[in-house]
Amino acid sequence: MGAIEWKDLVRALALVLVLEGLWPFLSPRRWREALLRMSTLDDRGLRTVGLLSLLTGLVVLHLA
C-alpha cells in the first residue's frame, strides 16, 4: 500500500462535506432540533458522541 496522494485526501474531505450537508438540506428542522439537544450536553456527553462518531467512522473505513 502506497502513500496517500493529496488529491485522494481532497476527495475524501469533499465527500465529508457532501455527507455533512445532506442532513441540514433534507431536514433542516430536525437538524436544528438535534443541534439544540446536543448544545445541552455537558463536555462528557459531547466527548462520548464524538468518540462514538469517530469509532464508527474508523470501523466503516476499515470495512471499506
24: exposed, middle or buried (Cβ count in 10 Å: 0-12, 13-18, 19+)? middle
Residue 3 has pLDDT above 90, yes or no: no
What integer pLDDT is reported at residue 2 of this predicted model? 66
Residue 22: pLDDT band by 50, 70, 90 thresholds?
very high
Range of the domain at 22: 6-63
d(CA 25, CA 33): 14
What's the structural domain count of the chain? 1
Grid coordinates given for 15: 465527500
Q: In this structure, is residue 1 part of a structural domain?
A: no
Residue-wise pLDDT for 24-48, tens only, equals: 999 999 999 999 999 999 999 999 9
